[in-house]
């Protein structure tokens, strides 16, 4: 498996898509029930293959990711040449950027000298989708990029 098996809840949400996937493999409902009791390895292989297919579809549409921690906001943009990163660090004791109060403080004080900005570009490995997936595993979430775009525009013009 290239990524991670979907959870039971995710399979339940994607039941229609999974049924179509099984049909493509020539497996109807009675055959699927038989496989579950007699060919556990084949079932595992099919679940893993479907999971990878779904993850690849999701990852192919990712443009922006965000990862927040107590003092850092990591904003990623998927570009042709690699992942662009804008890192925002708030060097303020007791501040937690993951809370609404912490984020509100940052919005009001983004020019404060205790707020540090860094930018970097990281070239992709052989598999850009795997790079994105690893960021998600580390806590990044897929976004529309509003925060990245705002900080990029502000940094580019200042």
Please list the ranges in the chain whose pLDDT falls under 50: none
43's tokens: 């079932």
- pLDDT at residue 11, rounded to an integer: 94
What are the residue ranges spanned by the domains of the chain? 8-60, 64-156
The CA-based angle 68-129-46, given to 5 degrees, is: 115
- pLDDT at residue 8, rounded to an integer: 94
Dist CA 45 CA 50 (whole Å)? 9
The pTM of this model reads 0.86
- pLDDT at residue 3, rounded to an integer: 94
- pLDDT at residue 98, rounded to an integer: 95
- pLDDT at residue 158, rounded to an integer: 84
The CA-based angle 125-126-127, given to 5 degrees, is: 90
Closest listed residue to residue 140, CA positions, set 94, 72, 91, 89: 72
Dist CA 92 CA 96 (whole Å)? 9
Dist CA 87 CA 63 (whole Å)? 17
């Amino acid at each position: 498996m290239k990524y991670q098996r979907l959870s039971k809840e995710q399979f339940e949400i994607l039941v229609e898509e999974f049924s179509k996937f099984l049909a493509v493999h020539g497996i109807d409902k009675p055959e699927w029930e038989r496989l579950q009791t007699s060919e556990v390895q084949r079932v595992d292989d099919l679940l893993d293959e479907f999971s990878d297919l779904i993850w690849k579809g999701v990852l192919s549409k990712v443009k922006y990711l965000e990862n927040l921690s107590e003092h850092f906001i990591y904003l990623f943009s998927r570009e042709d040449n690699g992942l662009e990163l804008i890192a925002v660090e708030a060097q303020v004791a007791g501040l937690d950027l993951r809370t609404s109060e912490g984020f509100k403080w940052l919005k009001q004080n983004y020019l404060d000298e205790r707020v540090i900005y860094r930018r970097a570009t990281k070239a992709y490995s052989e598999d850009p989708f795997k790079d994105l997936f690893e960021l998600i595993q580390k806590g990044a979430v897929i976004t529309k990029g509003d925060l990245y775009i705002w900080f990029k525009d502000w940094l580019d013009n200042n």
